[in-house]
Structure 1
């Protein structure tokens, strides 16, 4: 059934299919302009193909997508840990760089020690 993925992409991206949830098409509609901005031709087909790939991997399962604030916090924590462990920056300098308190930096460092420091 999934052997002819290109046929599914053409069909799904060109018209609404009865029984396919509206959220499926809303997601294609959401990704299409982002792909166009990135200069990708056939953006609608690419969006449909990406969604079908996700459907194959996660179809029928609950799929958690963290919000941007959570992703930004994780990225900041990673940056702080790199500043401390790899760049060997002082905690007050890290706090200033990330506009937070030294206590906040220490909290992050204590929560994610290097493996050999555990």
Structure 2
């Protein structure tokens, strides 16, 4: 019985386009309903990134966009939308950078926590 691929290769993960997509929260592969592993084509990733306002049209653009995305993430206090699942523990990074910050948590049912 031959084993089928279920994850991205180390070589693929190191590619700048793949790293840029992942940094922007884009999945670069998936397993379909039949259990087949599928890698998302480069041109699709470039199009999705473009829809998000991220230029991945050339190697130079990918490098620049990667650095800009890293800076945007570093400058963002907390992600605007965070999905949590009941019964699954997780942490949310808060990047206050030494500023005096007050956070408010707003749940989908309207409940607020300061």
Same fold, judged at TM 0.5 (above): no
Which of the two has greater helix per residue? Answer: 1
Which of the two has greater strand per residue? Answer: 2
Compare CA radii of gyration and give the structure with the larger one.
Answer: 1
Per the normalisation by structure 2, the TM-score is: 0.25
Per the normalisation by structure 1, the TM-score is: 0.24
